[in-house]
Chains A and B, each alone.
Chain A
Amino acid sequence: MLRFTDEHEWLKLDGEIATVGITQHATEQLGDLVFVELPKVGAALIKGAAAAVVESVKAASEVYAPLDGEVTEVNDAVAASPETVNADPQGSGWLYRMRLKDPAAMETLMDEAAYAAFTQ
């Protein structure tokens, strides 16, 4: 299941683990990323609180936790090579994985069609 937030994050659910990243639209708005700060594995995330930081040449932007949960894995490759996020934001440019406190909360987020309409 693939869902999107109005803060331009995507989540892909596999069991109770969601992979999280920023959308193609977000990377286009931000421009070339030069720094990514990821949460720590084990960190408790609260929906709407800062979970990661992405910085372009121009500015730093916080990436908010899309739902409540706990970080299970982070993508160290994007911390080493932030340009990966620009190149493949919804694939190899994922940021972290989290165990959702309530997987059913995915249904409160936008599906792909709704997000496409949202960014029009």
Chain B
Amino acid sequence: MSAQPVEPVALRNTPLHDLHLRLGARMVPFAGYAMPLQYPAGQLKEHLHTRQAAGLFDVSHMGQVVLSGPDPDRIARALESLIPADLAGLKAGRQRYGLLTDESGGILDDLMVARFDDRLVVVVNAANKRADAARLRERLPAEIAVEERPDALIALQGPAAEAALAALAPEVAAMRFLDVRTVTLLGAPGFVARSGYTGEDGFEISVPAEAAEAVAEALLAKAGVMPVGLGARDTLRLEAGLCLHGADIDPTTSPAEADLGFAIPKVRRRGGARAGGFPGEARILQELEAGTARRRVGLRPEGRAPVRAGAPLLAEDGTPLGTVTSGSFGPSLGAPVAMGYVAALHAQAGTRLLAEVRGQHLPLVVTPLPFRPATFKRD
């Protein structure tokens, strides 16, 4: 058994830190924060419980960047110069997935853009939030105020999420997948998005830091709601086929390589009304039409052994094909699952590959993503 390295870094605490300690969480450093890896129930139970009832996750380490000042139409248009999504077409009360791209066509971050009556709110990954905010400040017109909010962010995910949150704010029951709205929770002003990172129906709830603990405790008191740590969050998103920035996508991967073409709609592609006009457009648009030499795929190992990030992928004849970028055991599937990049010729579903794990070659099969169908409330 190898010893755990101790990181001598000063960690920041989220507004729910004391609650995590009271709940018996095992805290680990993540993106500069002390975060709960798991609670006493453990990762497997936390994962399965989220799919069966509801999990409450502290995701306050993520960045919430408010863009305000001019008319939100103008903000949305300006943001399209950095994100190849249809943001001008995003209606108030709606949210959309997008990619922050760089000049070489790589992915600086993936994010959610929400539009409200008077502003846009961009939710970004914890490790990138400072860089993202700096890029927005630098590249957007000076009339747009870019403010990183210190608010708490709580994800409530799973089939019991709606009833639990509606007990505090009945209006959320009428929301559909990717709706956003401002709410008052226990007297505190906040906003709710009907989305998440688990493949389950659920919500992400933004509240002021000082209200976070009361809101979290009120939700944990509802039927079926259990605290869930980052460990289970990772296996939930992996089963849902969702990318983790820094693992599955980063500045060295392009949207087409990452199979994220859905995030770039026709209107921003060649021939579209607002084609191009974002960093890396030449490479990104060309690749969406012509394809790429490698592609992100889902992988299911045939045996029981998990195949983890970094494992080399080979063709059955031993030719190197790529690398695993995420891999673990999928508790809801009762089997290991992984994602990785392979040469495009071997990216067809059903292709058998080998992964090198501790000197052995383990067979796995290219599998369509998600591994498990999402249960979003679409209508």
Chain A residues close to B by CB (< 8 Å): 7-9, 22, 26, 29-32, 34-35, 37, 53, 55-64
A60-B1 contact in complex given A31-B231, A32-B42, A34-B329, C-beta closer than 8 Å = no
Cα distance, A32 to B334, chains bound together (Å): 13
How many Å lie between the Cα of A30 and that of B43 in the bound state?
A: 10
Contact residues in B for A63 (Cβ distance below 8 Å): 1
Assign chain B's interface to a size class: 20 to 34
Tell whether B2 is near chain A: CB-to-CB under 8 Å: yes
A7–B329 Cα distance when bound, in Å, is 25
Contacts of A35 in B (CB 8 A): 304-306, 329, 336
B38 interfacial by beta-carbon distance below 8 Å: yes
- A57-B231, A58-B231, A60-B308 are contacts. A32–B43 as well, Cβ < 8 Å? yes
Give the tally of cross-chain contacts (CB within 8 A).
58
A contact residues around B43 at 8 Å (CB): 31-32, 56-58
- By beta carbon, the residue of chain B nearest A79 is B304
Q: How far is the CB of B184 from chain A (nearest CB, A)?
A: 37
A79 smallest CB distance to B (angstroms): 8
Q: What are the residues of chain B within 8 A of A9 when measuring CB–CB?
A: 1
Q: Which residues of B contact A56 (CB under 8 A)?
A: 43
Known: A34-B306, A55-B306. A22 touches B44 (CB 8 A): no
Question: Can you report 14 A-B residue pairs in the complex whose CB atoms are below 8 A from each other?
Answer: A7-B1, A7-B2, A31-B38, A31-B231, A32-B43, A32-B44, A34-B44, A34-B306, A35-B336, A57-B44, A57-B47, A57-B232, A58-B37, A60-B358
**Interface presence of B319 (CB below 8 A):** no
Give every chain A residue within 8 A of B304 (Cβ-Cβ).
34-35
Closest to A60 in B: B308
Provide the bound-state CA to CA distance between A55 and B327, in Å: 12
* Residue B235 is within 8 A (CB to CB) of chain A in the complex: yes
**Pairwise interchain contact B42-A31, C-beta atoms closer than 8 A:** yes
Contacts of B4 in A (CB 8 A): 29
Q: Which residues of B contact A29 (CB under 8 A)?
A: 1, 4
Which residues on A sit within 8 Å (CB–CB) of B329?
34-35, 55, 57
Complex Cα gap A34–B334 (Å): 9
CB distance from B31 to the nearest CB of A (A): 16
- Beta-carbon nearest neighbor of A34 in chain B: B329
User: Once bound together, how far apart are the Cα atoms of A62 and B234, in whole Å?
Assistant: 22
Please, how many angstroms separate the alpha-carbon atoms of A97 and B337 in the complex? Answer: 31
- C-alpha spacing A32/B49, complex, angstroms: 15
A37 touches B305 (CB 8 A): yes
A58 close to B1 (CB less than 8 A):
no
Tell me the bound Cα distance from A53 to B43 in angstroms.
Answer: 19
Q: Which of B235-249 contact A (CB under 8 A)?
A: 235
Asked if A61 contacts B1 (CB within 8 A), the reply is: yes
Nearest-neighbor residue (CB-CB) of B360 within chain A: A37
Would you call B331 an interface residue if the criterion is a C-beta within 8 Å of the partner chain's C-beta atoms?
yes
Closest residue to A36 on the B side, CB-wise?
A: B304
Question: Once bound together, how far apart are the Cα atoms of A79 and B238, in whole Å?
Answer: 24
Given contact pairs A32-B44, A34-B331, enumerate 4 new A-B contacts (beta carbons under 8 Å): A35-B306, A57-B44, A57-B232, A61-B2
Chain A residues with CB under 8 A of B336 = 34-35
Nearest-CB residue, chain B, relative to A30? B1
Residues of B within 8 A of A64 (CB): 1
